[in-house]
A = this chain, B = another copy of it.
Amino acid sequence: MKSIDPYDYWTLKTIKRIMGKNPWISLSSRELGEKLSVSQQSASRIILKLIDKGFLQRKIKDRRQNLSITDAGLDILFYEMNDLASVLEIEKTMEIRGNVISGLGEGRYYISRKSYIIQFQEKLGFIPFLGTLNVKIDPENEGKLRRLRNSTGIHIDGFVTDDRTFGPVKAFLGSIEGLQCAAILPERSVYSDVLEIISPFYLREKLKLSDGASISLFVNI
């Protein structure tokens, strides 16, 4: 993540406050200007800058604009949240709820790469069972997932083999029903609502989880 402009952050936070849960909001530059204590002209300029940077998107209809914050824009806010929490040393265990879904076996392929496995043992303290548990996160936990995506986590180096490149990933230690596990995410933000979980245990069997089973994951951020 490249460094954030404080004013971009500030403006996005203000817009997000106005939006609440709405993905789109009708917001004139005058109204935004009032919230930010700047003129309509400045607000207009600021909006254009944020659109240019990819943090906002806009639809104009009948001379009135509707605004939406992009994923990149939300990243700014959640990144700041994590940054501030870390500066203030507010440690956090989050509960994230979701449902077990069946993966495509890709996860198993990835995590069985030797370079990953060595690092899992060194940095997470366990050798994972050769397969991942795929958890589709409940929509109402989307914010928590975004926080996770914007957290640093435990860095796992990428590597290259003869045929292809395996990117760097990050891991978050946690537990499911008291059993040790870790959530694995690519280091470059991918906006998926599925989390891949690894564990020294075969969670599916040990916890008798079938597809669709509702589970609660605790992760340390």
Contacts and interface: CB of A to CB of B under 8 A. Distances in A.
A81 interface: yes
Contacts of A190: none
Interface in A154-172: none
B87 A13 contact: yes
Interface residues of A, number: 24
A10 interface: yes
Nearest to A84: B81
A178 interface: no
A interface SS class? helix
Nearest 8 interchain pairs by C-beta: A6-B10, A6-B6, A17-B87, A81-B84, A16-B87, A13-B87, A88-B143, A6-B7
A60 interface: no
Contacts of A37: 3
Interface of A: 3, 6-7, 9-10, 13, 16-17, 21, 37, 77-78, 80-81, 83-85, 87-90, 143-144, 147
A205 B3 CA distance: 54
Nearest to A146: B88
A133 to B, nearest CB: 25
Most chain B CB atoms below 10 A, which of A10, A85, A144, A147: A10
Contacts of A83: 13
24 contacts: A6-B7, A6-B9, A6-B10, A13-B83, A13-B84, A13-B87, A16-B87, A17-B87, A21-B89, A77-B87, A77-B88, A78-B88, A80-B84, A81-B84, A81-B85, A81-B88, A81-B90, A84-B84, A88-B143, A88-B147, A89-B143, A90-B143, A90-B144, A90-B147
A138 to B, nearest CB: 14
A27 to B, nearest CB: 15
A9 B84 CA distance: 11
B84 A77 contact: yes
